[in-house]
Amino acid sequence: MNQSGIYLSEASFSLKENHKIIKLKSHKMHHFVDFYAYLQRKLKFPSYFGSNLDAMEECLMDLSWFQKKDQLVIIFENAKQLLKDEKTEDIQLVWQIFEDVAEYWKDQDFEFIVVKD
């Protein structure tokens, strides 16, 4: 069963041996500039990443740069701090993109899990 989705805690899904866990410190991403740079570095986005939401969604739905034998678990530590200096509707759009990406991967042979810790 594919567990792709957004969860509120690590206890909400079953960790597997092939899950690659990437922990992101939300307090380092109060502004979009920081958010994009941090994501690119931690998720190892390709050099062509365009530092915008469309590019983020494209990279997360492609993942050709990621080893598919691993399954991706992204944990946003202290998620309430994420983009705290940005507009509420922009923050909601970010989470919607993560939801859309998780939904996309549900139909694939790959788990994309996001945790809002």
Quickly list DSSP for 58-105: HHHHH-TTS-TTSEEEEEEETGGGTTTTS-HHHHHHHHHHHHHHHHHH
In the CATH hierarchy, which top-level class contains the domain 5-116?
alpha beta
| Ordered alpha helix ranges (H), 1-87 | 32-43, 53-62
Using one digit for the tens of pLDDT, what is the confidence trace for 14-56? 888 889 999 999 999 999 999 999 999 999 999 999 999 999 9
Using one digit for the tens of pLDDT, what is the confidence trace for 52-103? 999 999 999 998 877 766 789 999 999 999 999 999 999 999 999 999 999 9
Angle at the Cα of 38 from the Cα atoms of 72 and 10, rounded to 5 degrees: 35
Tokens at 30, concatenated: 């109060």
pTM: predicted TM-score of the whole model, two decimal places: 0.93
3-state class (DSSP) for residue 18: coil
Q: When comparing pLDDT for 107 and 116, which is higher?
A: 116
